[in-house]
């Protein structure tokens, strides 16, 4: 398989106990008044000098808390001292880092650690990670078993989440789930930390899943749907899709995204779900693996991935460092990894094995419908990824799409692959020529990737392309063209912010 990408332009040490919770009768932060749901807890830990606001007197409760900020709050809550000499060395945290002392202290205490010599200080904290940190920091134990619909016994953070629930630090979500992969906001972490420090803040009841929900049975379910379900079941559970697009295999992709918060593509053929793609934290497999687990975890659970798929005595290569494909249970499962985040799982693709094996070719047959559908899929995938990383959703731009489409057609028709065309025009020249005035702009191109899913994964694993895809832009135009002889698709993304 030809795969080419062009460079894009562009612990319980000390616990503080107070008999009664502090009420936020007088707001400490301008954006947290006494009616705010977490006001008491935020005021409590602020007055303990554990959490600080910003220079403009705001707290910004909806902002995600990152690992460095978490380290600082834990170090203050436990009054940890910075060791004179540390055995912990992180390549991404040197002594000049504002939170070096806190990070070193929690690492030496065994509360927070990195991987591969990196602490990842700016990475948002997930609810599962928060559970592990608080459970260890406050030496929580569980004497009862609490069930959450999305936490299996094999899940890596199962015990820590149990500890939080058993000690009434969490009630879980209203539907009986925990949401382990959800990012934790500053308000949420303040609440959990206050509960850990002061029992009077703790919850009384735990939200249990309905009695007919078995978390073990829900493996490989995506918003309640799995391979083999009927189209009627799909639409009865999720309603009508936001979009229906054409796949390279010929089946239709039913795309559900809920403003890109819960993005899933369901492949439907003969009124049955035959494929699923998802890059959001709304699924897990029967081993408890899901989004943000590591390639190593997958290898330990599944073994070595396939090098190729055999179709009518021909071998089709699927070997890649940034994905792994496995066959079993009547399907091919492909895990996509993020090379820029230590090969964490960033998406999964399930294809019915008979569908895959009957598609005896690399590239789809070029049609106008498929070209336009590929363009829309590239757009949806970009926005789903941006939403997952906390970036703004892009607006589709027809003029930028015309510019992108013309460049893809030019590359396909004239057999070149560059940002600068044969007339010497850069992407910015082409956008300006089409009447686009922009404050900033960028372009991604790719060719040879068999589908929008694989093109998107390739861009996410190229630093410059990733920076463009997740960059500070407002609009996106997408253009796809096919080499009519070799059938290879050419993809172009044009990002920009209007003047």
Integer-rounded Cα Rg, in Å, for the chain is 25
Cβ atoms of 133 and 112 within 8 Å: the answer is yes
Nearest to 60 by CA among 88, 86, 38: 38
Distance CA 462, CA 6 (A): 9
Domain with CATH 3.40.33.10 in the chain: 221-358, 368-498
Q: Residue-wise pLDDT tens for the chain (499 aa)?
A: 444 433 333 322 222 222 333 344 456 899 999 889 999 999 999 999 999 889 999 999 989 999 999 999 999 999 998 777 766 678 888 889 999 999 999 999 999 987 767 888 988 888 889 999 999 999 999 888 888 877 877 677 889 999 999 999 999 887 788 888 788 999 999 999 999 999 999 999 888 765 544 444 468 989 889 999 999 999 988 899 999 999 999 999 999 998 898 899 999 999 999 999 999 988 888 888 899 999 999 999 999 999 999 998 899 999 999 999 999 999 999 999 999 999 999 999 999 999 999 999 989 999 999 999 999 999 999 999 999 888 889 999 999 999 999 999 999 999 999 999 999 999 999 999 999 999 999 999 999 999 999 999 999 999 999 999 999 999 999 999 999 888 999 999 999 999 9
Task: Report CA-CA distances (Å) from 198 to 48, 70, 72, 76, 209.
Answer: 12, 18, 19, 15, 27
Fold held by 368-498: Pathogenesis-related Protein p14a (3.40.33)
Fold held by 221-358: Pathogenesis-related Protein p14a (3.40.33)
């Amino acid at each position: 398989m030809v795969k080419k990408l062009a460079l894009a332009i562009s612990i319980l040490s000390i616990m503080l106990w107070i008999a009664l919770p502090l009420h936020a009768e007088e707001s400490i932060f301008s954006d947290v008044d006494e009616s705010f749901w977490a006001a008491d807890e935020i005021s409590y830990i602020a007055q303990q000098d554990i959490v600080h606001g910003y220079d403009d007197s705001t707290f910004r409760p909806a902002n995600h808390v990152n690992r460095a900020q978490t380290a600082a709050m834990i170090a203050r809550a436990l009054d940890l001292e910075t060791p004179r000499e540390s055995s912990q060395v992180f390549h991404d945290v040197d002594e000049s880092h504002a939170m070096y002392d806190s990070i070193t202290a929690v690492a030496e205490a065994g509360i927070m650690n990195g991987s591969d010599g990196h602490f990842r200080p700016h990475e948002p904290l997930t609810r599962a990670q928060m559970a592990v940190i608080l459970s260890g920091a406050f030496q929580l134990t569980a004497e009862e078993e609490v069930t959450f619909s999305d936490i299996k016994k094999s899940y890596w953070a199962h015990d820590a989440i149990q500890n939080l629930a058993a000690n009434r630090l969490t009630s879980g979500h209203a539907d009986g789930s925990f949401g382990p992969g959800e990012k934790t906001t500053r308000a949420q972490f303040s609440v959990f930390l206050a509960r850990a420090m002061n029992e009077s803040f703790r919850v009384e009841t735990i939200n249990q899943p309905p009695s007919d929900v078995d978390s073990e049975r829900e493996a490989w379910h995506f918003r309640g749907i799995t391979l083999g379900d009927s189209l009627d079941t799909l639409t009865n559970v999720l309603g009508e899709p936001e979009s229906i697009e054409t796949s390279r295999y010929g089946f239709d992709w039913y795309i559900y995204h809920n403003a890109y918060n819960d993005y899933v593509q369901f492949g439907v053929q003969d009124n049955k779900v035959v494929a699923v793609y998802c890059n959001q934290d709304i699924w897990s497999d029967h081993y408890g693996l899901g989004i943000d687990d590591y390639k190593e975890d997958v290898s330990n659970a599944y073994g070595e991935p396939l090098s190729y798929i055999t179709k009518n005595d021909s071998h089709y290569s699927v070997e890649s460092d940034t994905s792994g494909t496995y066959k079993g249970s009547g399907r091919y499962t492909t895990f996509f990894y993020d090379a820029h985040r230590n090969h964490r799982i960033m998406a999964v693709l399930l294809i019915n094995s008979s569908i895959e094996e009957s598609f005896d070719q690399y590239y789809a047959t070029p049609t106008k419908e498929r070209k336009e559908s590929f363009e829309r899929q590239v757009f949806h995938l970009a926005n789903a990824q941006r939403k997952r990383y906390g970036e703004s959703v892009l607006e589709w731009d027809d003029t930028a799409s015309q510019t992108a489409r013309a460049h893809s057609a030019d590359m396909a028709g004239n057999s070149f692959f560059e940002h600068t065309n044969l007339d010497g025009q850069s992407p910015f020249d082409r956008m300006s020529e089409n009447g686009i005035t922009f404050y900033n702009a960028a372009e991604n191109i790719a060719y040879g990737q068999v589908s929008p899913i694989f093109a998107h994964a390739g861009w996410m694993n190229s630093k410059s392309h990733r920076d463009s895809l997740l960059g500070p832009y407002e609009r996106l135009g997408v253009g796809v063209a096919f080499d009519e002889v070799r059938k290879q698709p050419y993809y172009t993304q044009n990002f920009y912010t209007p003047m």
